[in-house]
Chains A and B, each alone.
Chain A
Amino acid sequence: MGAGVDPALVLLALTSVLLLGSSRLTRGIRIVAFQGILLGGLTVAAHAHELSARVVALALLILALKGAAFPWLLSRVLQRADVRREVEPLVSYIISMMAGTLALAFSFWLSARLPLPSLPISTLAVPVALFTTQVGLFLIVSRRTALMQVLAYLVLENGIYTFGVGVVQGTPMIVELGILLDVFVAVFVMGIAIFHINREFDHIDANQLTLLTDWTG
């Protein structure tokens, strides 16, 4: 059981809450980047007792992707789109925070429903992972700009990854890599899509994309 696991998890949860309350996209990107770094650390911390080259490599890769590549890509997009702030969100920041606390409660409830067969690296692992996941979902639902939704998707991904690191040891390397590759391509493609959206519509407000509907009333 490596030290610094719990702090990392707590930080993760806090950053998620912070994201719930943040209105500036640039800060959002930074927060997500920070989460990526945290995850890299978490990966190492989780396998502290049997540290292997494989783990280190993986951690570095995570750092590179989630900590550097994605933020860089997204801020490129941000410059192109030149949107500084999140448009007025559908759910105000205060309520978002409250929802966040609810989500926290729910994740503790859920993790209580699901007794772990083997000890996780930390008792916080499951709740925090679920919490982060829910925050990701919540942000996708409650924010307008496509960029924010990508960020939210990343948060969701981070939560899930936290679960993977925290609870499931010894995932096969190829699967880990495959997952990372997929996430990378996903974010990349979404980034391109946002480029196009910005070019075609002159905004990246995903909520105004309502040409396709069956609701004429």
Chain B
Amino acid sequence: MSLIALLLIPTLLGIGTFFMKNDARRRAVLVVGAAAHASLVAATWAFPPAPLLGGWLLLDRLGQLFLTITSALFLAAALYAVGYLRREQRAAHRDFEEGLLFTNAPEATFTACLLFFLAAMTLVTVSQALGLLWIAIEATTLASAPLIYFHRHHRSLEATWKYLLICSVGIALALLGNFFLAVAASTRDGARVPLVLDSLIGAAGSLHVAWLKATLLLLLVGYGTKMGLAPLHTWLPDAHSEAPSVVSALLSGALLNCAFLGILRVQQVCAAAGQARFGQDLFVGFGLLSMAVAAVFIIGQTDFKRLLAYSSVEHMGILILGIGLGGAANFGALLHAVNHSLTKAMLFLVAGNILTVYRSKSAVGVGGIMRVLPASGVLWIAGFFAITGSPPFGPFLSEFTILKAALDQGRGGVACAYLVLLAIIFVGMITVALGMAQGPADDRWRLARPSESLLAIGPPAALAVVVLILGLYVPPAMHTAIEEAAHLLG
């Protein structure tokens, strides 16, 4: 029952907000919806919800993990969005890169799409039927496209177009993959194992290996495009850099995870069919490649939102690498998914604060944040140290776990490449972050005395605290939950 609620609340509220006139009320609804969703999700930990549609909708540990991340991030984002939309509430803005005037998309559309986006992502996490999963993932694309085009200027439009086209192509391939899976699951007499996870896993022995492999390839490429694995990641930096920061936070923190979940699902089937190794080798390759490509674009990157976007590519690489290594690395990868989502969302939100004051996405034009926006500056630095895997923050532990798994499996080459790439990326990212945070404050900003509202600081600060705690202490409950989730991956 609660699954229905989880899906319907955002959907209905979304429809509602679409027709609402009053801005303040609409924002209130957004927050309420997010809070309700979050509390329902929290409740699912206490009372596991019953499966629906004959097991098509079911919340297993894996889905629950990602659902929780998504819901938590959405709550933070919703709170932040209230302040953000207030700040953005102006007739026309001057685009600080091309100097043209531009307007924002209607706030109603924006809010509604946010809620639809949440509904779609929820569906991704709860759907066990792979067809349904595909529909949900495509739905996330369609719901998020208008969000990216919130600021109606050239670059955001271009980004939206690329996002739409590339992701649609990818998703289309994933659909083909689903059909392949259906073929793999069908038997000589035309009967077929339903494309629902547990029945597939149950009948894994009878699946046709060749088609299964083809399925994995197609779904890997299809969902990998959405997930942002190099070289399929090309839409990601554009979309993340041009979307409003609050949307970037959701894209990077929640959406990519959903695509990742899609890949995990098919990997579950392959593992059950005894084909785990086949996918894992590819995963390791994609993981290292993604990290390498990210490193290429992070070194010397001046646009700090693109920097964060490429860092997402890197971390998606780390996740898939972890799954590719398997064993203890599965645990590490899932833990890292949590850490990365929280940290990256936090960073994007802070980037939003910086953007509103400095009105420049070029790191060169930004300096002395520590002096101009003390709170944001501290969060910015902390976030960068966290995302680059320095103690005492969460990502350190998860990356460490993956490294140890790699070496325990005796894959020194992988571990070495992994370490080297992490080091290069650290240098690239920290250089930008420090250059922005430190240094003397330009009088333009200092005299302006920008104030940091609670709504702008609270959500990222809360996320930062969680990340810090996760770096010093992994709660036993969470530990076991992630272990169970990792166990599902075999």
Which A residues are closer than 8 A to B by beta carbons?
113-118, 133, 136-137, 140, 146, 149, 153, 156-157, 160, 163-164, 167-172, 174-175, 178-179, 181-182, 185-186, 189-190, 193, 196-197, 200-201, 206, 209, 211-212, 214
Contact = CB atoms under 8 A, between A and B. Distances in A.
B210 interface: yes
A209 B145 CA distance: 17
Interface string B153-184: 11101111110110011001001100100111
A113 B210 contact: yes
A77 to B, nearest CB: 13
Contacts of A212: 155, 158-159, 162, 237-238, 241-242
Interface stretch (B17-25, B187-195, B264-272, B379-387): B187-195
Given A160-B175, A178-B132, A179-B135, A117 B169 contact: no
A172 B160 CA distance: 32
Contact of A168 (B134, B153, B183): B183
A203 to B, nearest CB: 12
B301 interface: yes
A50 B65 CA distance: 43
A127 to B, nearest CB: 14
Nearest to A181: B135
B192 A153 contact: no
B18 to A, nearest CB: 15
Nearest to A204: B161
Contacts of A133: 176
B434 interface: no
A211 B142 contact: no
A168 B186 contact: yes
A137 B221 CA distance: 14
Nearest to A110: B214
23 contacts: A114-B211, A117-B183, A117-B186, A117-B188, A146-B161, A153-B165, A153-B172, A160-B176, A160-B179, A172-B129, A174-B132, A175-B129, A178-B132, A179-B134, A179-B135, A186-B141, A196-B149, A196-B152, A196-B157, A197-B161, A200-B152, A200-B154, A211-B158
Q: Which of A114, A115, A117, A168 has the most CB of B within 10 A?
A: A117
Given A163-B176, A169-B190, A185-B142, A193 B157 contact: yes
Given A182-B142, A214-B301, A197 B186 contact: no
A58 B217 CA distance: 29
A190 B182 contact: no
Contacts of A156: 169, 172
Question: What 4 pairs between A and B have smallest CB-CB spacing?
Answer: A175-B131, A178-B135, A168-B182, A212-B238
Contacts of B107: none
Interface residues of B, number: 50
Contacts of B301: 214
Interface in B122-156: 129, 131-132, 134-135, 138-139, 141-142, 145-146, 149, 152-155
A106 to B, nearest CB: 14
B93 interface: no
B453 to A, nearest CB: 30
Contacts of A113: 210
Contacts of A169: 190, 192
Given A163-B179, A168-B183, A201-B154, A186 B142 contact: yes
Nearest to B172: A156
B181 to A, nearest CB: 9
B49 to A, nearest CB: 20
B129 A157 contact: no
A214 B169 contact: no
Contact of A211 (B141, B152, B154): B154
A189 B139 CA distance: 12
Contacts of B184: 117
B154 A153 contact: no
Q: Which of B155, B164, B210, B211 has the most CB of A within 10 A?
A: B164
Given A175-B129, A212-B158, 12 more contacts: A114-B211, A118-B187, A136-B172, A156-B172, A160-B175, A164-B179, A171-B131, A185-B139, A189-B146, A197-B161, A200-B154, A212-B162
A181 B175 CA distance: 14
Contact of A189 (B142, B157, B187, B214): B142
Nearest to A214: B297
Interface in B267-306: 297, 301, 306
A193 B179 contact: no
Contact of A117 (B155, B162, B208): B208
Contacts of A186: 138, 141-142, 164, 168
A160 B176 CA distance: 6
Contacts of B165: 140, 149, 153, 190, 206
Contact of B183 (A149, A167, A170): A167
A190 B146 CA distance: 11
Contacts of B154: 200-201, 211
Contacts of B186: 117-118, 168
B104 to A, nearest CB: 14
Contacts of B158: 209, 211-212
Interface in B415-459: none
B131 A172 contact: yes
Given A196-B149, A201-B154, A206-B161, A116 B183 contact: yes
Q: Which of B169, B238, B242 has the most CB of A within 10 A?
A: B169
A132 B96 CA distance: 44
Nearest to B207: A117
B174 to A, nearest CB: 10
